[in-house]
Amino acid sequence: MAVFTLPHSNHRTAYLFIREDTLAFMESHRNYFHDIGRIPQRMVYDNMRVAVKVRRLWTKDDKEPTDALLYMSSFYGFDFRFCNARSGNEKGNVEESVKFVRRYVFSVRDEFASLEEAQTYLNAGCAKLNVQGNSPATVNIVSLAREDFDAMRPWTDDIACFQKVEREVTNYATISVDRANYSVPDAFTLDTVSVRIYTNKIEILDTNGKVIAKHDKVGRGDWSIKLEHYLHTLRYKPGALKNAEALRQAPEGIRRVFSGAFSDNPKDFVELLIFAKERNIVYNDIVEGLQQLKRIPCAQCHTPTDGRQAAAGGRPKGSCHDQHPAGWKSHRGER
């Protein structure tokens, strides 16, 4: 967790990352400056390895900034200094803020479905923390923070902080990054693509620089497979869909649509996804559309339509539609 604190007001902002490395160090600064819309005049750092290089000269520690810190300082135009070793009076706002934010925000809840969910929860906790005083020194935290922001220079642009590499797409329409595997649209099989590696995500680009896929980072040996990347292949081999890893990793709502309405007709399901992709229809819209179909009543007897069969394009089961075939045709015409 990266925590930024303004000593005058004790205004705190925090960001979560899956690892502590140079990319996380740079992204945390980019996110912070972007979010507050300001650039501090000076940044004070503890002796973290991503910020300072220590050389032993005689009996004293000679500290040098890392290349990443120099790059950010030049881009954003801020000065910096490092805390001295064994000087607790210098580290109160630096070290204690991490402990305080972690204890204040995550003492009630510490399990989340994703890093994004945890970050949203952390943002809400910091926002609450920054409007209430927790000590006599922070009673007027809102007005003091306003003074801090007024003393800073305006933010103008984001720094680029990613690693760019090239990868060849395999026969399975995947690439490997840091020993993890990510899917690519199957139209790019055996092509060479560029990859922007961020701390928590990757972006895959074609030869024209267009982003063709985005993934959240996964652990080494894991797979991140997206169903929409294999629609061209599944159109010709729909029978492979039922046991496909791409379906297993698809959102729960889409899996329910398949199992509830298309398990016996996977080809129609693939055609539905292709239809939706061509028109920029998201998965949530498909799930909601199925729910709406279930609520459409028969015009002759006011019985709800079996939306699962309607979405599949087949004849719905039940005595209502057996008795009123004309009513079923009207349902199909409205879908």
The full 3-state SS of 165-232, as one line of letters, equals EEEECCCCCEEEECCEEEECCHHHCCCEEEEEECCCEEEEECCCCCEEEEEECCCCCCEECCHHHHHH
- Give this prediction's pTM: 0.65
pLDDT for the residue 85: 67
Contact 265, 310 (CB under 8 A): no
Which residue type occupies 128? K
Residue 2: both structure tokens together: 């990266």
Nearest Cα neighbor of 197 from 161, 171, 234, 146 is 161
d(C-alpha 61, C-alpha 53), whole Å: 10
> Which residues partner with 181 through β-bridges?
176, 223
Domains of the chain: residue spans and CATH: 2-154 (3.30.420.10), 163-224 (2.30.30), 229-334 (no CATH)
d(C-alpha 241, C-alpha 234), whole Å: 7
pLDDT for the residue 162: 86
Going from the first residue of the chain to its last (335 residues), give the mean pLDDT of each consecutive group of 10, the final group possibly shorter.
Answer: 89 90 91 94 87 64 84 93 69 70 88 89 92 70 91 92 91 94 96 92 94 92 95 93 93 91 92 92 86 69 48 44 42 41
SS (H, E, C) the chain: CEEEEECCCCEEEEECCCCCCHHHHHHHHHHHHHHHCEECCEEEECCCCCCEEEEEECCEEEEEECHHHHHHHHHHCCEEEECCCCCHHHHHHHHHHHHHHHHHHHCCCCCCCCHHHHHHHHHHHHHHHCCCCCCHHHCCHHHHHHHHHHCCEECCCCCCCCEEEEEECCCCCEEEECCEEEECCHHHCCCEEEEEECCCEEEEECCCCCEEEEEECCCCCCEECCHHHHHHHHHHCHHHCCCCHHHHCCCHHHHHHHHHHHCCCHHHHHHHHHHHHHCCCCHHHHHHHHHHHHCCECCCCCCECCHHHHHHCCCCCCHHHHHCHHHHHHHHHHC
Residue 6: both structure tokens together: 């303004």
pLDDT for the residue 173: 96
Q: Is the dihedral of CA 189, 194, 197, 201 positive or negative?
A: negative
**φ/ψ (deg, to 5) at 4:** -110, 130
